[in-house]
């Protein structure tokens, strides 16, 4: 599990997880959304992250929106130097946004030869 979301009426919680390889069959990394029964540890798959979405690094940097309808995760890939911000629909695993935030280095006054911009954290504002 990489992120916990809202609690359901039955006490289970939404979560962004890694696993479900046989169900998701993603070509690179099997991230998914699931509900977790905290008392038993049982996980129920809700949706696999879509096969056309590759999450570069640092899946622990992420957060569900307050209403639970979106999940955002971000990273900075130290190998490629590319920033990544992905917003997913937790019910389908499809990407609402998958961006390298082009122009961010220039906006922040960071040199192009600087290795990369790393996303430290993601939070939602109303």
Partner 1 sequence: MVDVPPRANGTFSVVSRDWTWPDSQGVGCPEDLDPNVGVLSGSVLLDFTSNWGFIVQIDAAGSGNVTRAVQASKTQLLFDGFISWATTASSLIGVTPAAAQHGFCSDGCLQFGVETWPAGEYCTLWVFLACWRMALAELCVVVLSHTNSLCLCTLAAGLTLLPFKAAMTNVAHLDESSNMFYFQASHPVGNTAWACSSNAADQCLVAIDATKGSIVSSQGPSGYTVRCAS
Give the interface with partner 1 as residue ranges (CB under 8 A): 1-4, 7, 11, 13, 19-20, 23, 35-36, 38-46, 60-61, 63, 65, 70, 72, 85, 87, 96-97, 99-102, 104, 107-109, 118, 120-123, 125-126
Residues 31, 16: Cα–Cα separation, whole Å: 7
Residue 25 structure tokens: 């069959």
Provide the minimum distance between the beta carbon of 52 and partner 1 in the complex, in angstroms, as a whole number: 16
Q: How far is the CB of 50 from partner 1 (least distance, A)?
A: 16
Tokens representing 108 are: 């922040």
For the bound state, the minimum distance from the C-beta of residue 43 to partner 1, rounded and expressed in Å, comes to 5
Nearer to partner 1, 11 or 28 (CB): 11
The secondary structure of 23-87 as a DSSP string is HH--SS--EEEEEE-TTT--EEEEEEPPTT----S-TTSEEE-TTSS-EEEEEEETTTTEEEEEE
Contact criterion met (CB below 8 Å) for 45 and 71: no
**Least distance CB 28 / partner 1 (angstroms):** 20
Of 6 and 28, nearer to partner 1 (C-beta) is 6
């Amino acid at each position: 599990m990489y992120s916990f979301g809202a609690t359901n009426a039955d006490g289970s919680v939404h979560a962004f997880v890694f696993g479900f390889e046989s169900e998701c069959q993603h070509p690179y990394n099997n991230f998914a959304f699931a509900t977790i029964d905290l008392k038993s540890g049982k996980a129920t798959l809700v949706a696999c992250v879509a096969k056309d979405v590759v999450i570069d690094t640092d899946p622990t940097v992420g957060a569900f929106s307050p209403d639970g309808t979106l999940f955002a995760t971000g990273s900075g890939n130290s190998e490629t130097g590319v920033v990544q911000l992905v917003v997913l629909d937790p019910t389908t695993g499809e990407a609402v946004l998958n961006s390298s935030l082009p122009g961010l280095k220039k906006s922040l006054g960071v040199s192009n030869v600087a290795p990369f911009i790393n996303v430290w954290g993601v939070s939602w504002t109303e």
